């Protein structure tokens, strides 16, 4: 927080700001890389302990380890980035649910450790599954490959997670947006909610577009804020296309919340 405040309130010219950003990248990016390597090295020991001694399932414990990895990532970036401390209302997180989050940055997925739940199955496009090492963890976690899985397989995998009181997370825009408002929402998350009669939990995230927006290759200090909206239950909607009505309502609520957060 001190360094963030120094960046926003003390630096007065473009040169000093540029020097600060260069130093931030020289310090933080190697730290993140080092923690990633260390985390991968520690994973087998943690996996074996939780798998065979505590009896956790492979998917659950891998998701838990990824959540812990994100917590340490947040601690490291916390020297330059403010993560608003939030007090989550437990009622906003039913025993299971479908989480939908707006998407502004590559680091949005890393910020999901701000959520109070760790058993989260991400719905991911195909290209991350092609990244060496990362693809192993995504497969162990049972993540949904929304571009390769059939709808039937996506439904079956999601039901397993929901029945175990876990969560399925979608970025319904499908790609990073450069717009203050959300762009087009794909319908998959909302169809899944209707078919499984599962509440949708809208999550609004802002500030990551300052940390690392689409099209930029260096990071800058940021203030990342997350707000969780009340769950929306699909059984309150009627008609054969009720997933569209559900989608429209949630998108409107998220845009209103994002506008408020951006203007604060």
Residues 6+ apart with CB under 8 A from 205: 101, 102, 104, 108, 111, 224, 225, 226
Where are the alpha helices (H) located in 49-90, listed in sequence order? 58-77
For the entire predicted model, the pTM comes to 0.92
pLDDT tens per residue across all 264 residues of the chain: 667 776 676 776 788 888 889 999 999 999 999 999 999 998 888 778 777 777 778 899 999 889 999 999 999 998 889 898 666 676 677 889 999 999 999 999 999 999 888 999 999 999 889 998 889 999 999 999 999 999 999 999 999 999 999 999 999 998 888 888 899 999 999 999 999 999 999 999 999 999 998 888 899 999 999 999 999 999 888 888 899 999 999 999 999 999 999 987
Q: DSSP letter at 164?
A: T
Residue among 174, 258, 184, 178 at smallest CA distance from 215: 178
**Architecture of the domain whose range is 2-263:** 3-Layer(aba) Sandwich (3.40)
Domain ranges of the chain: 2-263
Distances (CA, A) of 14 to 8, 25, 174: 12, 17, 35
Task: For residue 224, give the 3-state DSSP assignment.
Answer: strand
């Amino acid at each position: 927080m001190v360094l963030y405040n120094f960046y926003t309130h003390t630096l007065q010219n473009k040169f000093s700001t540029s020097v600060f950003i260069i130093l931030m990248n020289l310090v933080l990016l190697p730290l993140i890389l080092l923690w990633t390597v260390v985390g991968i090295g520690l994973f087998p020991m943690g996996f074996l302990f939780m798998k065979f001694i505590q009896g956790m399932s492979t998917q659950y414990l891998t998701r838990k380890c990824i959540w812990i990895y994100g917590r340490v990532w947040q601690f490291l970036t916390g020297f330059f980035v403010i993560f608003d401390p939030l007090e989550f209302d437990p009622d906003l997180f039913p025993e299971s649910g479908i989480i939908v989050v707006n998407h502004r940055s590559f680091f949005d997925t890393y910020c999901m450790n701000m959520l109070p739940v760790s058993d989260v199955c991400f719905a991911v496009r195909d290209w991350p599954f092609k990244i060496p090492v990362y693809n192993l963890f995504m497969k162990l976690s049972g993540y949904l490959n929304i571009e390769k899985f059939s709808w039937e397989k996506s439904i079956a995998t999601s039901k397993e997670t929901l029945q175990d009181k876990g969560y399925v997370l979608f970025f319904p825009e499908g790609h990073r947006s450069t717009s203050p408002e959300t762009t087009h929402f794909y319908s998959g998350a909302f169809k899944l909610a209707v078919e499984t009669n599962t509440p949708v939990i809208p999550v609004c995230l802002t500030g990551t577009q300052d940390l690392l927006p689409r099209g930029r290759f260096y990071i800058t200090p940021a203030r990342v804020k997350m707000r969780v909206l009340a769950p929306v239950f699909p059984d309150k909607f009627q008609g054969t296309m009720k997933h569209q009505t559900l989608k429209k309502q949630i998108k409107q609520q998220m845009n209103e919340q994002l506008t408020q957060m951006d203007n604060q």
